């Protein structure tokens, strides 16, 4: 008899979240590259099968492993049906998927621009429809209560801005609070934009010289500023450039910037920040020699450039991620929401005062239980704002939103 083929491995980047559906425990498998439509819900038994998909087992071997580990006997045809569903959904590393990924990555490497990956998925691709949605956030219940001004009236742009990167449908009013501060002022000469590399690549800061496309037109890169920053790093800043391809944290900022200023939008330098915890853990990043030297050197470069040009430090960051969706065995209730907010506000007090190390340490305290995904990006923003001599920040709004798969995500808007 021919040997049973091995089942392709489950993709390592698949996001898995537990949910309850009609009283049953289920698990949602989300393809991060496919947007909201790339999801598949499976039973607890299906989750057990998926956990064994390492590319080294055949269907009979998966059945035997389940029987040995959990005393459960699942029919071969049921396992095959599930693995076929996973493969059809693009969640397994099949030859077809690997070839598709290879082609898409090669296309990205060779492209001069970074396409608007979430246009038509997380937000409307049509400019009129998108403008109607973004404009409505200003008048929404939790928004600033009025539309964005058509002309600036408050002088020069601020030194810094922290805006959310949660999806527009949940955090739109908080975006409106942040971007109203820009709409009411003249555009800066350049923007250094710090987003979150949710894939957590090895590089602490990941750069790209590619233009970000948006439905309103391109966000061009400030090449001189790009070279200044890249030249201060001890590694190739494009080594993990592919994380820019699908990452939403800066794409959402690019959409708002072009919405506000259109063709007058200043050039920017888009930087995705990975987790500093791999080096610093429960210590301040300033204690890590390579990180600290880069932060200081870039701060000096920005300070020098700022003598002739107005530079805006922009952070696309969220705060806490707590709940079953994020691996926590907790009950979602008002008491937990208040606890999260109380701790968030303590950390934000340090951020408003430009106290980068105390901010970082307040977040990672107690095992980093809030899982603040914007930690490294916010820390970097605070360091560079301090180098530029920015004033203390002003809290514009704070909010929380439920995660559809069971959790709480918090976010804020701050202007400096």
- Predicted confidence (pLDDT) at residue 19 exceeds the cutoff of 80: no
Q: Contact, 45 vs 37, CB < 8 A? A: no
| Per-residue pLDDT tens over the stretch 123-178 | 999 999 999 999 999 999 999 988 777 777 768 899 999 999 999 999 999 999 99
| Alpha carbon 317 to chain centroid, angstroms | 7
Q: What topology is assigned to 114-415 in CATH? A: Protocatechuate 4,5-dioxygenase; Chain B (3.40.830)
| Alpha carbon 216 to chain centroid, angstroms | 21
8-state DSSP, 177? H
Element of type H or E holding 144? none
**pLDDT grade, residue 35 (50/70/90)?**
low
Which of 248, 237, 173 minimizes the C-alpha distance to 214?
A: 248
Looking at residues 342-365, what average pLDDT do you find? 97
Looking at residues 353-358, what average pLDDT do you find? 98
Q: What is the pLDDT of residue 216?
A: 98
Give CA–CA dist 138/186, Å, rounded.
Answer: 19
Q: Contact, 378 vs 359, CB < 8 A? A: yes
Torsion angles phi and psi, residue 361, rounded to 5: -65, -30
Domain with CATH 1.10.10 in the chain: 15-102
Does CATH number 1.20.950 belong to domain 15-102?
Answer: no
Which of 101, 68, 311, 275 minimizes the C-alpha distance to 189?
A: 311
Give CA–CA dist 387/219, Å, rounded.
Answer: 25
Looking at residues 290-294, what average pLDDT do you find? 96
**pLDDT grade, residue 1 (50/70/90)?**
low
Domain with CATH 3.40.830.10 in the chain: 114-415
Looking at residues 341-359, what average pLDDT do you find? 98
**pLDDT grade, residue 18 (50/70/90)?**
confident
Q: Environment class of residue 127 by beta-carbon count within 10 Å: exposed (0-12), middle (13-18) or buried (19+)?
A: middle
Q: pTM for this structure?
A: 0.86
Which pairs count as long-range contacts for 57-65, CB under 8 Å and 24+ apart, including other chains?
57/6, 57/7, 58/3, 58/4, 58/5, 58/6, 58/7, 59/4, 59/7, 59/83, 60/4, 61/4, 62/7
Looking at residues 192-204, what average pLDDT do you find? 93
Strand pairing category for 394-403 and 205-207: unpaired
Q: What is the pLDDT of residue 225?
A: 98
- Predicted confidence (pLDDT) at residue 353 exceeds the cutoff of 60: yes
Q: What is the pLDDT of residue 134?
A: 96
Q: Environment class of residue 214 by beta-carbon count within 10 Å: exposed (0-12), middle (13-18) or buried (19+)?
A: buried
Enter the tokens of residue 43: 């039973």
Report the percent of the chain where pLDDT is more than 90. 72
- Collapsing DSSP to helix, strand or coil, 122 comes out as coil
Q: What is the pLDDT of residue 393?
A: 98
Q: What is the pLDDT of residue 116?
A: 96
| Per-residue pLDDT tens over the stretch 363-389 | 999 899 999 999 999 999 999 999 999
CA angle 201, 54, 74 (to 5 degrees): 140
Q: Contact, 230 vs 207, CB < 8 A? A: yes
| Per-residue pLDDT tens over the stretch 380-415 | 999 999 999 999 999 999 999 998 778 999 999 999
pLDDT: which is higher, 215 or 97:
215
Q: What is the pLDDT of residue 126?
A: 97
- Predicted confidence (pLDDT) at residue 2 exceeds the cutoff of 90: no
- Predicted confidence (pLDDT) at residue 362 exceeds the cutoff of 60: yes
**pLDDT grade, residue 307 (50/70/90)?**
very high
Strand pairing category for 205-207 and 268-273: antiparallel
């Amino acid at each position: 008899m021919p040997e049973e083929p091995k089942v392709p491995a489950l993709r390592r980047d698949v996001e898995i979240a537990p949910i309850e559906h009609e009283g049953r425990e289920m698990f949602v498998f989300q393809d991060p590259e496919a947007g909201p439509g790339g999801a598949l819900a499976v039973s607890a038994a299906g989750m057990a099968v998926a956990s064994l998909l390492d590319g080294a087992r055949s269907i009979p071997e998966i059945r035997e492993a389940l029987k040995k580990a959990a005393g459960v006997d699942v029919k071969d045809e049921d396992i095959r049906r599930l693995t076929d569903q996973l493969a059809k959904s693009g969640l397994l590393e099949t030859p077809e998927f690997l070839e598709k990924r290879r082609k898409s990555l090669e296309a990205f490497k060779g492209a001069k621009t970074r396409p608007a990956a979430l246009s038509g998925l997380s937000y409307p691709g049509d400019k009129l429809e998108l403008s109607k949605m973004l404009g409505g956030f200003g008048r929404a219940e939790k928004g600033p209560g009025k539309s964005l001004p058509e002309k600036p009236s408050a002088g020069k742009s601020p030194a810094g801005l922290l805006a959310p990167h949660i999806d527009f449908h949940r955090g739109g009013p908080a975006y409106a609070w942040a971007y109203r501060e820009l709409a009411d002022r003249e555009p800066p000469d350049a923007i250094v934009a710090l987003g979150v590399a949710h894939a957590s690549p090895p590089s602490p800061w990941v750069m790209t010289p590619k233009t970000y496309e948006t439905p309103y037109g391109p966000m061009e890169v400030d090449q001189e500023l790009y070279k200044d920053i890249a030249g201060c790093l001890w590694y190739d800043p494009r080594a993990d450039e592919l994380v820019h391809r699908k990452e939403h944290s800066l794409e959402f900022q690019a959409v708002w910037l072009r919405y506000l200023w259109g063709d007058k939008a200043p050039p920017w330098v888009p930087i995705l920040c990975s987790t500093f915890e791999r080096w610093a853990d429960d210590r301040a990043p300033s204690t890590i020699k390579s990180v600290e030297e880069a932060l200081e050197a870039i701060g000096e470069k920005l300070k020098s450039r700022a003598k002739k040009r107005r530079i805006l430090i922009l952070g696309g960051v969220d705060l806490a991620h707590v709940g079953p969706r994020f691996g926590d065995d907790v009950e979602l209730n008002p008491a937990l929401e208040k606890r999260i907010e109380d701790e968030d506000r303590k950390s934000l007090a340090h951020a408003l005062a430009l106290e980068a190390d105390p901010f970082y340490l307040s977040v990672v305290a107690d095992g980093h239980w809030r899982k603040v995904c914007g930690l490294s990006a916010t820390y970097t923003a605070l360091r560079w704002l301090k180098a530029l001599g920015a004033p203390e920040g002003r809290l514009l709004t704070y909010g929380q939103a439920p995660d559809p798969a069971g959790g709480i995500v918090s976010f804020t808007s701050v202007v400096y």
